[in-house]
Amino acid sequence: MLVDRLLMEPMSVKNLGLSSNPDIRDDGIAHLVGLLRSNRSITTLAMHNTGITDQGIGLLADVLCDTKTRPALEKLYISFNKSITDNSLESLTHILEQNQTLTLLSLQHCSLSDRARQRLRRLNKKKNKKKFKLSE
């Protein structure tokens, strides 16, 4: 598996593109979280259409908001994952509130309600620090 190889061999990977791999799902995110904890060189992570669910967003929030092992991730693309719903709202707000390195979060064409999208937009505007792409 790619993540295992990246964990074994020290590499300076800045951009990791995993988009259009719908079988990655949350199991793959669990492996990816380990990589993000140990590899601080990754600044861009593209995961459009990878089958991520609310559970996977929770795993990402845990690593992105962990003050001890916080990765250097600056750009996170998680659009076109229809299994990201309002159930991930708490995790997404946690990322927007707590993470200090993320400058772009692309969360387009997921299954968030208008109310959830509005809440995220308000929070992002209040924080006024992240480029935030959110649409339906």
CATH number, domain with residue 9: 3.80.10.10
Has residue 116 been placed in a domain? no
CB 119 within 8 A of CB 93: yes
Has residue 99 been placed in a domain? yes
* Nearest of 8, 35, 9, 10 to residue 18 by alpha carbon: 35
User: Tell me, what's the pLDDT at 4?
Assistant: 53
Has residue 117 been placed in a domain? no
Q: Is the model's pLDDT at 2 over the cut of 60?
A: no
Has residue 73 been placed in a domain? yes
This prediction's pTM: 0.86
What is d(CA 67, CA 122) in angstroms, rounded to the nearest whole number? 24
Hey, how many other C-beta atoms are within 10 angstroms of the C-beta on 63?
Answer: 20
Where in the sequence is the domain holding 94, given as residue range(s)? 2-108+123-133
What is the tens place of the pLDDT at every residue in 21-43?
999 999 999 999 988 888 888 99
Q: Is the model's pLDDT at 128 over the cut of 70?
A: no
Has residue 118 been placed in a domain? no
What is d(CA 117, CA 60) in angstroms, rounded to the nearest whole number? 19
Cβ-proximal residues to 28 (8 Å cutoff; 6+ apart), any chain:
3, 18, 21, 50
Q: Is the model's pLDDT at 97 over the cut of 70?
A: yes
Count of domains for the chain: 1
User: Tell me, what's the pLDDT at 111?
Assistant: 96
Has residue 43 been placed in a domain? yes
